[in-house]
Amino acid sequence: MTDFLHRLPEFASQHALLVAAFVGLLLALIATEALRLMRGWREITPATLTHLINRQNALLIDVSSRADFEKAHIPGARHVAMAQFDPEHKDLAGVKDLPIAICCRSGVTSGKAAARLVKAGFKQVHSLGGGIGAWQQADLPVARGKD
């Protein structure tokens, strides 16, 4: 190990571009992880969502479009189109401290909705990573229609 440490300055001086790329990637990784930790909501897997629904009675909101919701959604999910999604709504005021899971078709829109919930003061906000596609890939049941 000490031989490695003694030869490290020589390597760095001979491969400055490689060292600069490594440091840049390392800083980008640290910044990305720091932002992920500070955003206030967690991206979860289908297994974790199942646990939240079954053990903690999480409120599940699907912010997919109406057509996508009718094609396939998680049983028990409440549909709220993103255009009508309002974290300040009086019906949500009583659940600010309860676990809330947001999902959508791909997982992108649900992240935006989760950020809005955190900004409105919700404490336990989760977003299904990969959306309904990840749920279906995990071979979990889906419902179809308006439900």
The neighbour count for residue 39, using CB atoms within 10 Å, is: 15
Q: How far apart are CA 61 and CA 118, in angstroms?
A: 15
Q: Containing H/E element for 79?
A: strand 78-79
| Residue 104: active-site member | yes
Matching residue, tokens 């899971």? 101
Phi and psi at 79, nearest 5°, equal -90, 125
> Which are the contacts of 41, defined by CB distance < 8 A and separation ≥ 6?
111, 114, 115, 117, 118, 125, 126, 127
Question: Which residue among the candidates 92, 100, 104, 114 is catalytic per the annotation?
Answer: 104
- Which residues are identified as catalytic? 104
